[in-house]
Structure 1
Amino acid sequence: MKLAYFVHDLTDPAVARRVRMLKAGGAEPVVLGFRREAAAPTTIEGVPAVDLGRTHDGRMLQRAAMTGLNALIAARLRRHLKDAPVIMARTLEALAVAEAARRMAGSEARLVYECLDIHRLMLGEGVKSRAMRAAERALMARADLLMVSSPAFLERYFEPRQGVGRDLGIPTYLIENKILELEPAGDNVTAGPPPGPPWRVGWMGAIRCRKSLAILTDLAARRPDLVDVRMHGRPAYSEFDDFDAEVAGLPNVSFGGSYSAADLPRLYGDVHFAWAIDFMEEGLNSSWLLPNRLYEASRHGAVPIALAGVQTGRYLADHGFGIRLESAADLESALEALAPARYRALRAEVAARPRQAFVAGVEDCRRLVAAVSSEEAPAAASCATFAQSRKPAAKGAFPSEHIPGEAV
C-alpha cells in the first residue's frame, strides 16, 4: 500500500522511526516535509524524501508562512499522491499542506492526523490561538483518523477544547513513543554503574527545557558528591541563553552530543536514573506527554524520574516502577535518602515490566498500518491505561497518592 507521509522535519530521528514502522507494517511510504537542518535528505530509511523547504525552531511566523506557501502550491505534489490510498500528516502544519495537496490532486485518500505535541499557541485565548484551533478543527473535520501518543492529549485538549468525540466524530488511535525493535533481541540491559553516590542522572533526547537544565546544573554545582549529570541528544539552542557555556563549567556535568538508536544500551547503561521531567510548556503539553525517553530508559534498565502530578508520573504509578517526585525541588532529598539496596529494588521493578511495555515490534507496525488504512474505527493500541484515561479527569493536576520525594 502506497502512503504519502507529510512531516514537519525530514531530519527528525523520530520521523525515520515512524517510516521504519510503516515499512515494517506493509506500507510503501513516500515522505514529504519541511526540514530544520541546512541540507535535506533525499531518502529516509530507503524511501524517497521530498523537501518542502527549511523552517526554524521557535519562529512560528516563518513556519506559518512556509506552510501557507506550500499549501498554495500544493498542486506540484500531485504525482507523489498518485495511487496512494492513505495520506498521513505529522503535526498541524503538515496536515494543512497534506489536505491542500489532497484536494488539488482530486484524491479520495484517507487523511490521518498524527499529533505528538500540543503547542502552547494552541491553548491561549488570544486571536492567534483561537484562529489556530479553528483551523485545526476545520482540518480535522476532513480527516479520517486522529493519532496521539498520550491519552492525556485527548483528555485535556482534543475532547474538551476541540470537540473530538462530541462535535467531531473522528476515530482516535493511541500510539505510544516506544522503542522500535523489528528483530528479536536479548535483554539488551547492562548491569549499570555500581549503586551509590554520586548518582548518575541521564538526560537524553530532545534537550529543550531551560528549567530542567537550571535544576540539574544547580544541584550538580552544589552537590558534586551527590549527583553526576550526563546529557546526550539534540539541544534546542533557541530555548537557552548559552547552552554550551552552561554545561561546560562543571566537571560533573557533561554533554555527549547526538546519538543513534544503537547507542541507547551504552548511554542508559552508564547512568542510574533517567530525567523524564519537562517544564518547557509547564501545566500544558509538558504535563500531558509521554516522552520517548520514558520508554528508552526503561527498556535499557535506567530508573525514570518524573513528577507525580503529570501524565508521565501517572504512567509510572499505574505500572508500578520509577521515582515520582512531588516537585523537582525534592530531587536532592530523594537522592540523599536513597540507599544502594533501595536502588537495586527500583531497578528490579523496571526489569520486571514486560518487554512489550516499552518496545514496539512487527505486530505493532502491522496494527498501525491496519489502523491508518481501515475504514472502521480502530481499536486502541496496547496501553494499559488508555481505557481509564478516556474517563473525565478531575480538575487540576492528575490525582496521585504519594509521599513527597518517595520512590514508588
Structure 2
Amino acid sequence: MLHVLYLVHDVSDPAVRRRIIMLRAGGARVTLAGFRRTINPVSDVEGLRPIDLGATRDGRFGQRMAAVAKAAVSIGSKLGNMPRPDLIIARNLEMLALARRAKSAFQATVPIVYECLDIHRLVLRDDFLGKALRGTERYLARDVKLLVTSSPAFIANYFKPFGQIAAPVELLENKYFEASAVSPDDLVAAENPVAPPWRIGWFGALRCRRSLELLAEFSRRLDGHFEIILRGRPALSEFPDFHAFVESEPWLSFRGPYRNPEDMAAIYREVHFSWAIDFFEDGQNSQWLLPNRLYEGCRFGAVPISMGNTETGRFLKQQDIGVLLPQATPEALEAAVGKMDEHRFGKLRGRVLARNPRTWSHDRNDCQALVEKLRGLAARPEPLIAEALA
C-alpha cells in the first residue's frame, strides 16, 4: 500500500479532509502533518491524528514564515517515529520548504509532489518580495516529480509564463467526491424549494467582502424576492464584522459550517442558485480559479452565477449553463435574474442537470487513478540511481 506523507498549511481546512478521503479511497495510506489555525492541536481529521507543527494565523504572512522556520528545525524529531513514506505531498509553498527538510530527515530518496491550488497575490508582485518568492518557489520545486493544480488558468497565467515548475502537471479539478456511482434518478430527485423567494447560496470559504456587500445590496433592492444563504467558514481576517453585518441585513442569513461531502445534497437543495464569484484577489487568483462551489452546486442542480470574463465564466460558456454577469454590480445581477420566473428557472436548471455527472464529480475510479499515478512516481528511480544501476 502506498504510504503518503501529506504536509498541509492548515490541518482543519475542509479541503485537506477531502483530499485525504480521495487518497484513502484510491488505496493509499496517509500520514497527516501540518500547521493549524486553532488554539489547541487538532486531534482527529478523518480518523487520523495529525502531527502538529504549530499554530499559524490567517493573513499573517510574516508570522507564517516564522512558524515555517521554527518547524524546519524541529520537523525531523516530529516525524522521527513514523515509518518512511513512499511519497510526500506538499500543499502550498511553505509546505514545499518543509517537504525538503522532511525528505532529508528520512535519509532516503522520497519523491515530492507539489500541490498548489491557489496562486497567492504575493508571488505575483513585481517588486523584490514577489521576485524573491518566485525564485524561492523555483528553487524548492527544482526536482519535484509532479505539480498538482486545479485550474488550467493557473498553468497558463502563472506556472508557464514565469517558468516556475519543470515537472509534469496533473490537473485535478475541485470536483465533488462521489463515493458511489451518480444515478440520473438521484439528480432528477434533487428538488429546490418553492419560489419566490428565490435563494442564492454562497457556500465554502467566505473571504470576499465585495461579494458580501453586493449580495446584500441586491437582496435589499429586490425587497425579499431573493434571499441569500451563507454557509461555511468566514475569513474574519478579511471582515471581522462579518456576523454583525449579516445580522443587520434582512435577507441574508449565515447558517454555519457544513461537512463535505456528507451535507452537500441537503444544503444545495435549499437554494436555487449558487454564487460562483470571488473578488478576493481580483484580476489574479480570483480570475483564474475553478472553485469547489462551482462543481458542488451543479452536482445538485443549483444554477451557477459567475462573471463572464473569468475562468469559471469561460467554463460555464463551454457547458452552455449558468448565469453570467457582464459587471460586478447589484444592478447587473438584478438585470440578469431579477425577473426570474419558474419557467425560466426550470430551463436553466434543466441544462445543468443534463450535463454528464462526471463533469462535477470524482468517483472511486478517479481516486484509484490518482493513487496509481503517485505510486508510479514512488516506484520510479532517481536519475543518479538509475545511472548507477545501468
TM-score (norm 2): 0.91
Could you say which residue in structure 1 is the equivalent of 2:344?
342
**222-231 vs 295-304, greater mean Cα deviation:** 222-231
Could you say which residue in structure 2 is the equivalent of 1:363?
365
Could you say which residue in structure 1 is the equivalent of 2:30?
29
Could you say which residue in structure 2 is the equivalent of 1:216?
215
Equivalent pair of 2:137/2:164 in contact (CA under 8 Å): no
Equivalent pair of 1:133/1:162 in contact (CA under 8 Å): no
**224-233 vs 38-47, greater mean Cα deviation:** 38-47
Could you say which residue in structure 2 is the equivalent of 1:391?
none
Equivalent pair of 1:110/1:373 in contact (CA under 8 Å): no
Deviation at 1:18, TM superposition (A): 0.6
**81-90 vs 130-139, greater mean Cα deviation:** 81-90
**1-side partners of 2:244 and 2:348: how far apart?**
34
- Gap regions ≥5 residues in structure 1: 379-408
Could you say which residue in structure 2 is the equivalent of 1:68?
69
Could you say which residue in structure 1 is the equivalent of 2:157?
156
1:263 has 2:263 as partner:
yes
2:171 to 169, 174, 190: 174
Could you say which residue in structure 2 is the equivalent of 1:38?
39
Could you say which residue in structure 2 is the equivalent of 1:88?
89
TM-score (norm 1): 0.87
Deviation at 1:80, TM superposition (A): 5.7
Deviation at 1:13, TM superposition (A): 1.2
Could you say which residue in structure 2 is the equivalent of 1:322?
322
Q: What whole-Å deviation, never above 9, does each CA across 1:231-263 have from its counterpart, x for those lacking one? A: 111000110141011100122110001111322
Seen in structure 2, the aligned counterparts of structure 1 residues 205 and 21 have a Cα distance that, compared at 3 Å, is same
Equivalent pair of 1:77/1:101 in contact (CA under 8 Å): no
Could you say which residue in structure 2 is the equivalent of 1:183?
180
Deviation at 1:89, TM superposition (A): 0.8
CA RMSD of aligned residues (A): 1.9
**1-side partners of 2:377 and 2:296: how far apart?**
33
Deviation at 1:81, TM superposition (A): 6.0
Equivalent pair of 1:229/1:254 in contact (CA under 8 Å): yes
Equivalent pair of 2:84/2:106 in contact (CA under 8 Å): no
- Deviating beyond 4 angstroms after TM superposition, the runs of 4 or more aligned structure 1 residues are none
1:231 has 2:209 as partner:
no
Seen in structure 2, the aligned counterparts of structure 1 residues 337 and 80 have a Cα distance that, compared at 3 Å, is farther
**2-side partners of 1:346 and 1:80: how far apart?**
55
Seen in structure 2, the aligned counterparts of structure 1 residues 248 and 78 have a Cα distance that, compared at 3 Å, is closer
**2-side partners of 1:270 and 1:24: how far apart?**
29
Equivalent pair of 1:4/1:81 in contact (CA under 8 Å): no
Aligned length: 373
SS in structure 2 of the partner of residue 201 of structure 1: strand
**214-223 vs 227-236, greater mean Cα deviation:** 214-223
**2-side partners of 1:312 and 1:172: how far apart?**
20
Query: What is the identity, as a one-letter code, of the residue corresponding to 2:303?
Result: V
SS in structure 1 of the partner of residue 373 of structure 2: helix
SS in structure 2 of the partner of residue 4 of structure 1: strand
Deviation at 1:326, TM superposition (A): 1.0
Query: What is the identity, as a one-letter code, of the residue corresponding to 1:233?
Result: G
- Gap regions ≥5 residues in structure 2: 381-390
Could you say which residue in structure 2 is the equivalent of 1:392?
none
Equivalent pair of 2:134/2:164 in contact (CA under 8 Å): no
Q: What whole-Å deviation, never above 9, does each CA across 1:295-349 have from its counterpart, x for those lacking one? A: 1100111000010110111111111211111112211111124332111100000
**1-side partners of 2:209 and 2:201: how far apart?**
16
Seen in structure 2, the aligned counterparts of structure 1 residues 37 and 13 have a Cα distance that, compared at 3 Å, is same
**2-side partners of 1:77 and 1:250: how far apart?**
47
